[in-house]
Amino acid sequence: MTARLPLTKYHHICLVLREQLQEGRFAQGMPAETELARQFGVGRMTVRHAMEQLVAEGLILRVADRGTFPTAHARSLSASGTVQAQPTRLAGLMENIVSATRSTTVKVLDSSTVEASETVAGALDVPVGSPVKKAVRRRSSREGPLSYITAYVPAQLAAGISRRDLSGKPILQLIEEAGVVLGRAQQTISARQADALVAQELGVAIGTALLAVRRRVFDVHDKPVQWLERLYRPDRYEYQMEVSRIGSVDARISVKDQEGVV
């Protein structure tokens, strides 16, 4: 059994605030560091460390002269506070996603229709509370658990997608088969520590550093059709990117086993 690491104070604050952000709280702004320090009974530097971690994860942004907000809300407040992800060449990325999934298996942990939180609504450009399809899956290689994936799709695009479909094909492939013509994607790659739920599913200790990939996919009309977060075990996953002299991007993903890259 993998040993469990004790939670530091700042990590505990990260877990609580991350969950509250995912529930759609703080639309009017995050509390001040002094207020959070009082709420959690810790020093201001501990809170600042936790906030910096959430910024690094792309969950919150600091808007000059206004405060700190959930990412989607901050982007609507100030163009200067926007962190733009680099557009990805979707055709090549899609081919690599499908190729990599052939050597893995999927367990569907959740498949349900939920109301879009502010964060999800902002990512998919739909009203808050709109129905969206939520899918949570764990993908595994021959070596064991590989990634924990949470994806959201507008409900009307996912009407024909079943739980069985989700276990057999990537969501982007299912959307394409339903008639959506994919256009471009914005992708952010960072790091995140495993919370209790993710740690259990991936077979790692709480607090383990994971590779976090957030992807927002658009159709040819520039309408968002998918927003997801993938959390990977870095010992079983590799992401490669080649940028040409004229600016195009060729993204490649690889699943590792004991003999190298699959």
| pLDDT band, residue 1 (cuts 50/70/90) | very low
What's the pLDDT at 133? 94
Bridge-based pairing of strands 209-219 and 60-63 is unpaired
Residue 45 has pLDDT above 50, yes or no: yes
What type of residue sits at position 147? Answer: S
CB atoms within 10 A of CB 90: 19
Contact of 147 with 230, CB cutoff 8 Å:
yes
Strand-pairing partners, residue 112, are 134
Q: What tokens does 25 get?
A: 């709280």
| Overall residue count recorded for the chain in this entry | 262
| CA nearest to 146, candidates 254, 228, 53 | 254
Which of the following CATH numbers is that of domain 86-261: 3.40.1410.10, 3.30.70.260, 3.30.450.20, 3.40.50.2300? 3.40.1410.10
Most confident among 59-63, 132-136, 237-241 (mean pLDDT): 132-136
Q: Classify the C-alpha dihedral 108-24-124-85 as positive or negative.
A: negative
Q: Where are the alpha helices (DSSP H) in the chain?
A: 9-22, 33-40, 44-56, 71-77, 90-101, 118-124, 163-168, 171-177, 196-202
User: What pLDDT, on the 0 to 100 scale, is given for residue 11?
Assistant: 77
139 forms beta bridges with 106, 147
Bigger pLDDT: 223 or 8? 223
Contact indicator for 237, 122 with CB cutoff of 8 Å:
no
Region of 153 (left: φ > 0; alpha: ψ -120 to 50; beta: rest) is: beta
Mean pLDDT of 93-117: 75
Note whether 66 and 78 are within 8 A (CB): yes
Return the domain boundaries, the chain.
Answer: 9-81, 86-261
Say if residue 258's pLDDT is above 50: no
Distance CA 207, CA 15 (A): 10
Query: What is the three-class DSSP state of 239?
Result: strand
* 161-164 long-range contacts, CB within 8 A, separation 24+: 161/133, 162/111, 163/108, 163/111
| pLDDT surpassing 90 at residue 40 | no
Q: What is the arithmetic mean of pLDDT over 92-106?
A: 59
Q: Is the pTM of this model over 0.85?
A: no
Mean pLDDT in residue range 136-156: 92
How confident is the model at residue 101, as a pLDDT?
Answer: 52
Q: What is the pLDDT of residues 181-224, one digit of tens each?
A: 888 888 888 888 999 999 999 999 999 999 898 989 998 888 99
Q: What is the chain's mean pLDDT, rounded? A: 78
Q: What is the CATH number of domain 9-81?
A: 1.10.10.10
CA dist 138 → 11, 31, 54, 59, 198 (Å): 23, 34, 23, 22, 9
Q: Which residues contact 84 (CB under 8 A, 6 or more apart)?
A: 186
- DSSP percent split of the chain into helix, strand, coil, nearest 5: 35, 35, 30
pLDDT score at 253: 46
At residue 90 the predicted structure's pLDDT band, cuts being 50, 70 and 90, is low
